[in-house]
Chains A and B, each alone.
Chain A
Amino acid sequence: MGGARTAGDMVMRLQLDKKMKINEAKAYVAEKLGVTLEELVDVVTMSELREDLGIGLAHVEPCAEANMGMEAKFKIAEILDIKINSVEKFKKRAGIK
């Protein structure tokens, strides 16, 4: 689906976390992000939205201040209303409530 270029990483998270089939997982993520299903798989729309929301990008240059990796996953967990294991472990070890 394009991973962090679009929303494939987030759809994959819903399949893993909630055992959702592809259409249900896409609809869930689209609703949480406030985009249409067509926009969800569009690299231009999603790149801009991902930068605005701080949920990780597939490109770094020229977005040096954009979220990547762990900080992006903090935001993804919040927006999608799911728990992400690495985020939970990070919080626990860093003493973040």
Chain B
Amino acid sequence: MEKKYFTRMGDGSMVYMTEEEIKADIQLGMEDAILRGKVDPLTEEETQKLYDIVTMSGIIVGVEPGMQVVSSNDSGSDKISTKCGIPVTRDVNAMIHERVLGADSVDIGNSDYNYKTVKGIAKREATILKQALRNTTMPLFYGAMPNLGFYTKPDGPVENWAVLLPEGRIKEALQAQEDAVVHAVNDITYVAKQMADVGADGFQLDTSGAAGDADFLAALLACEKITKNNPELKVEIGAAGEFVLGMHGKLKYDDQIIAGLYPHKQVKLVEKAGASIFGAVVNTNCNMSFPWNIARVITFIKACTDVAQIPVHANAGMGVNGIPMCENLPSDVSSRADKALIEIGKVDGL
């Protein structure tokens, strides 16, 4: 009977596949990325290495010596309290990340992780960050999402484009998104100034593009202003997905239509906006195997790192970049995804 290798589906469920099945899925995953992103294929050597990573023995696998990379986070210092329900303050959380978990950096963020919420309590948030900065050695970010959807009525100031669009009120829907961008940029830059004033090392614009191209534009414009007004504060822009949704469709940055951009094009706008780090994302397909997903991911990510002038940190959390879509992540395929992202995808961090 032909040997079958243990791996997983994109939703994390276990599956056993033969060499032929794994290689076929690697090929199909890569072809999907090439078709959608119009990017170059992996070389034969790279696809063989990917196969070796998928099938290598051991539960947890690691990178080759010398290929270690650094890590950044989103809502990192809130994970222990919010995700695990362990009541520790965020400054203590940051120290745990530094001295227990060996993190290279972490961000302080509100459990309601968006800048609209944070604006009203920005000085209080800055006080927590200041306390953490006194006690930690590693770089600390403040982090949240632009999250443009929060600016819509009834609890926000602008009309809800998701309601207007199905009603055929296109002009109003476009205007609402443009108005929301202005509000978001004002809120984000206000918060950034408070964090710069207490000594933050970095500022995380996480899950940018979650509400579409206007959301991504808000992150770019805010980054541009922060790096100009507070150059001591360095910005990381993390993407929401592999493809910027065209909820508006006509918005441009640097003469480039934002809607429809894949990571290798997103990173060029992020660079132009002045960010120090780009957090690249490729979505995980729950219905496809890990070999299919990771081949697709690495094809997109390698195209991104090939053209990037700034460090690229691949988002390696639930449901993105080959990591399964499940709450408790299996270290078998997660460590394989990390190894592939670093050794073949050439990322500068996770």
Contact = CB atoms under 8 A, between A and B. Distances in A.
B89 to A, nearest CB: 16
A85 B138 contact: no
Nearest to A11: B70
A83 B196 CA distance: 13
Given A9-B104, A9-B105, A16 B349 contact: no
B335 to A, nearest CB: 15
Interface of B: 65-66, 68-72, 97-99, 101-105, 133-140, 196-202, 232-234, 236, 276-277, 309-311, 347-349
A59 B102 CA distance: 10
A76 B201 CA distance: 14
A33 B132 CA distance: 26
A5 B135 contact: no
Interface of A: 1-6, 8-9, 11-13, 15-17, 19-22, 25, 37-38, 41, 55-56, 58-60, 68-70, 72-73, 76, 83-90
Given A17-B234, A19-B310, A58-B98, A89 B197 contact: yes
Contacts of B102: 2-6, 8, 58
Contact of A19 (B136, B140, B276): B276
Contacts of B99: 4, 58-60
Contacts of A72: 137
A41 B137 CA distance: 17
A20 B138 contact: no
A24 to B, nearest CB: 9
Given A55-B137, A58-B99, A41 B68 contact: yes
Given A16-B139, A37-B66, A86 B200 contact: yes
Contacts of A86: 133-134, 140, 198-201
A40 to B, nearest CB: 9
Contacts of B199: 85-90
Nearest to A86: B199
B232 A85 contact: yes
Contact of A1 (B70, B140, B277, B311): B70
A38 B66 contact: yes
B137 A56 contact: yes
19 contacts: A1-B69, A3-B98, A3-B103, A11-B70, A12-B104, A16-B201, A19-B309, A19-B310, A22-B69, A22-B311, A22-B348, A37-B66, A41-B68, A56-B137, A58-B99, A69-B135, A70-B135, A83-B232, A85-B232
- Among all A-B residue pairs, the 6 with the closest Cβ atoms: A86-B199, A56-B137, A8-B104, A9-B138, A22-B348, A89-B199
